[in-house]
Structure 1
C-alpha cells in the first residue's frame, strides 16, 4: 500500500493538501481562518450555521478578498422546531446561573428560534461557493439538486456506516467520518434511542466506512498533527478534518478565556453534553456542564436549549469567564500550541507527514 498526500480528493476539490478546516460555528471559525487554511493549500471552511444570511454573504466575500483558492461553508441540515413544554423547569435552573453572573432572571416565556436554513442556502448558491458541507444530515433532495446544478461540491459529516451510505446515495461528493474523539456537536443524523449520538472511535469508524462507500472519506476526531494525517490515510481516508487544532491559531475567533482553558486541558478534560444546545457535543467540562450533569433536569431539545442559554454564554464571554461558555474541543488537547498562525499549523502538519512517509 502506497500512501500519498496527493489524494484523489485533492484533485476533486482543487486543493494541494488533504487538510480540511472544520466548520466551527458560533465564533471560532472566522473568515480570516478559513482563508488562511485555503491559502496554505488546504480547504478552509466557514462555520455559518448560526449566522444570518447576509452575514454569511459578507463573510464569503471577505474570504474571496483574502484568497483565490477553494473554500467551503458549513450549515446544519436539520429540521427542528422549538419545544417550550418544559420551559418553566429549565428556566428556573438557568436562573441560578444567571444570578451568579449578575443577570436578571428570565421568565418561562416561549421562545422562537429563527429558521434561516433556506435563506442561508440561497446565499451559498448566489455566491457560488465551491463547497457546501453539512452536519446533522445530508442536504434535502431539492437543495442537493440545486447544488449539483450549480456545480458545487457537497460534503456531509457522518458518524456511522449507515449514515455514510445514505450520504453517498443522496449524492454527496465526499463524507467526513466523525469519530467520538471529535470536538463540538456530534453529527449523528437521528438521535432517537441514542441521546448522546453515535460514538465510534475514529480508528474503528474510518476503515469501516472506507470499505463500504466509493466516495472519498475524510477522517475527523482527535487528529492534530502529521502523525494523525498519515494514520488516517493508512486507514483508507483521503483527507483529514481538524477543528480543535485551529482553536488557538492566531486567526481563531475563539474567546481568549476559551483558548486559555484549552491550553490548560488534557485528554481527560472533555465530555459529551447536551447542556448548552440540546444536541450532544464534546467540550471541556466547566461549571455549566457540571451543574447540568448533577441537577437531574433534562435540557430542552435543539435548538430551544441553545436559544435559552445564549444570554448566559454571551455574558460569560463579556466577563472573561470560561465557566459558563461552551468550550467545544476534542480529545487531542495536549497537542495544542499557542501563538502559531494557521499557515504555520498546516505547514507543520504537512512537513511531519512527509517526514514519516519519506524518512531520510
Structure 2
C-alpha cells in the first residue's frame, strides 16, 4: 500500500468513480495500467457486488486503484424545504415526495414502468462496504456526500489505505482535514454528476464555486494533498489545476466516452450530440444537485423535484432504466460535466497517454514562454 498520493500513479490523472455502472473494472484497470489511478464506484451496489468488482479488477491488474463510497444520508426532520408547491409553500419531505410521485405518474404510464419505492434505504450499505474494505484492503478509498468518522479513517489507515473525501467549499475541506483524511477531492461546480456537498441545502442550489477559484482557496486553508475535479478534459487544464495547488486531477466525463466505460451507448453519444447543447444542475432524477445534459425530463421535472436524496433516486430508478431500454435519451440521467463537448472516443489507456503528452506539452510551452517584463 502507498502512503503518499504521488506514489499511486505515474501521471497525475485520476479516473472519477462514476456510479450507476459506468466505472467498471475494465475501465479502472485500463486507466491504472496506463499510469493513472483507476477507480471503482461502490455507490448503489451491494457490499458483495462491490467485493466481486474488486476481485475482478485485481484479476486483470496489479496496479493501484481506488474505491468510492457514498456516505449514509441523515434522516430528514419532520418538515423541511423539500419542495415548493404552486403556492410556494414549503412541504414536509414525505408530502413533497408524494407530490413528485404524482407528477411522475405520466412518465410511468409512458414508459410502462412502476415508480420505485422511495423508502429503499438511506445508507447505501455503508457499514457493510466499509467492513469489506477493512478485511480486504485496497490502495485508496474515497468518500462522497459527507465526511466519515475519525474512527473509520483511522481503521483504513491501519490497513494501509489512503483516504480521500470530496469537498465543494473551503469549510468542507477544513472538516475533511480535521477528520484525518489523507487528501481532499476539490470539486468545482463544473463537475458532472452529483455535487459532493456535505449538507444538502436547497438555498445554495446553483451557487457552487468554480474549480480554479476553489483550488486556490482550499490550498490556502488546508495542508493535505488536493485532487482537482470539475470539467477537466485536456492536459492543459490539468497543468492549470496543478499550478493552482492540486497534486492531481480527477476526470469523469472524459472517461465516460471511452469503450471501456460501462455507460449506456446513448449516454456516450449524447456527450457530443448537437441536440444536447448545455448542462445544468438538477434534482430531477435523484433529489440531490447533479449536473447533466439538459433533456426533456430535466426541463419538465427539474423545477419541481424536492430536496430528498436518495428517496427521489429510488423513485425514478425504474423510469431511467425503462427510458434506456426504450432507447430514449430524453428520459435518462445524462450526467456530464461542462466540458462534455470535448469528449474523445479513445480507449481509456490511450486517453491517459494523450493527456500525459498534453501535460508535458503544456509544461514545455510554459517553461519556454518569456517572462513578462515592464513596459517601455
Q: What is the TM-score of this pair, normalised by structure 2?
A: 0.87
TM superposition shift of 1:41: 0.9
- Counterpart of 1:54 (choices 48, 54, 62) is 48
Residues 111-190 of structure 1: matches in 2 within 5 Å?
111-113=119-121, 115=123, 116-190=125-199
User: What secondary structure does 1:85 align onto?
Assistant: helix
- Counterpart of 1:18 (choices 4, 12, 16) is 12
Matched, 1:307 2:324: no
Matched, 1:260 2:256: no
Task: Tell me the distance in 1 between the aligned counterparts of 2:326 and 2:100.
Answer: 23
Q: Is the Cα–Cα contact under 8 Å of residues 71 and 131 in structure 1 kept in the other structure?
A: yes
TM superposition shift of 1:85: 3.4
Q: Which residues of structure 1 form unaligned runs of 5+?
A: 1-7
Partner of 1:316: 323
- Counterpart of 1:325 (choices 312, 316, 332) is 332
Task: Tell me the distance in 1 between the aligned counterparts of 2:217 and 2:274.
Answer: 31
Greater CA radius of gyration, 1 or 2? Answer: 2
CA pair 272-263 structure 1, distance change in 2 beyond 3 A:
same
Task: Tell me the distance in 2 between the aligned counterparts of 1:84 and 1:159.
Answer: 28
User: What secondary structure does 2:69 align onto?
Assistant: strand
CA pair 226-300 structure 1, distance change in 2 beyond 3 A:
closer
- Counterpart of 2:239 (choices 221, 225, 230) is 230
Q: Is the Cα–Cα contact under 8 Å of residues 118 and 312 in structure 2 kept in the other structure?
A: no
Q: Is the Cα–Cα contact under 8 Å of residues 191 and 291 in structure 2 kept in the other structure?
A: yes
Task: Tell me the distance in 1 between the aligned counterparts of 2:203 and 2:69.
Answer: 23
Q: Is the Cα–Cα contact under 8 Å of residues 263 and 333 in structure 1 kept in the other structure?
A: yes
Partner of 1:269: 278
Q: How many residues in Structure 1 have an aligned counterpart in Structure 2? A: 346
Partner of 1:45: 39
Tell me whether 145-154 or 68-77 shows the greater mean CA deviation: 145-154
TM superposition shift of 1:213: 1.1
Task: Tell me the distance in 2 between the aligned counterparts of 1:163 and 1:353.
Answer: 29
TM superposition shift of 1:78: 3.0
User: What secondary structure does 1:169 align onto?
Assistant: helix
TM superposition shift of 1:291: 1.0
TM superposition shift of 1:208: 1.1
Partner of 1:79: 73
Task: Tell me the distance in 2 between the aligned counterparts of 1:332 and 1:158.
Answer: 20
Q: Is the Cα–Cα contact under 8 Å of residues 29 and 60 in structure 2 kept in the other structure?
A: yes
CA pair 188-194 structure 1, distance change in 2 beyond 3 A:
farther
Tell me whether 29-38 or 94-103 shows the greater mean CA deviation: 94-103
CA pair 272-307 structure 1, distance change in 2 beyond 3 A:
same
TM superposition shift of 1:138: 1.6
Task: Tell me the distance in 1 between the aligned counterparts of 2:71 and 2:122.
Answer: 14
Partner of 2:259: 250
TM superposition shift of 1:24: 0.4
TM superposition shift of 1:268: 4.9
Partner of 1:5: none
Task: Tell me the distance in 2 between the aligned counterparts of 1:80 and 1:185.
Answer: 17
Partner of 1:4: none
Tell me whether 92-101 or 277-286 shows the greater mean CA deviation: 92-101
Q: Is the Cα–Cα contact under 8 Å of residues 266 and 333 in structure 1 kept in the other structure?
A: no
Task: Tell me the distance in 1 between the aligned counterparts of 2:106 and 2:129.
Answer: 35
Q: Is the Cα–Cα contact under 8 Å of residues 75 and 134 in structure 1 kept in the other structure?
A: yes
Task: Tell me the distance in 2 between the aligned counterparts of 1:200 and 1:322.
Answer: 29
- Counterpart of 1:94 (choices 104, 111, 115) is 104
Q: Which residues of structure 2 form unaligned runs of 5+?
A: 77-92, 369-376
Task: Tell me the distance in 1 between the aligned counterparts of 2:198 and 2:103.
Answer: 29
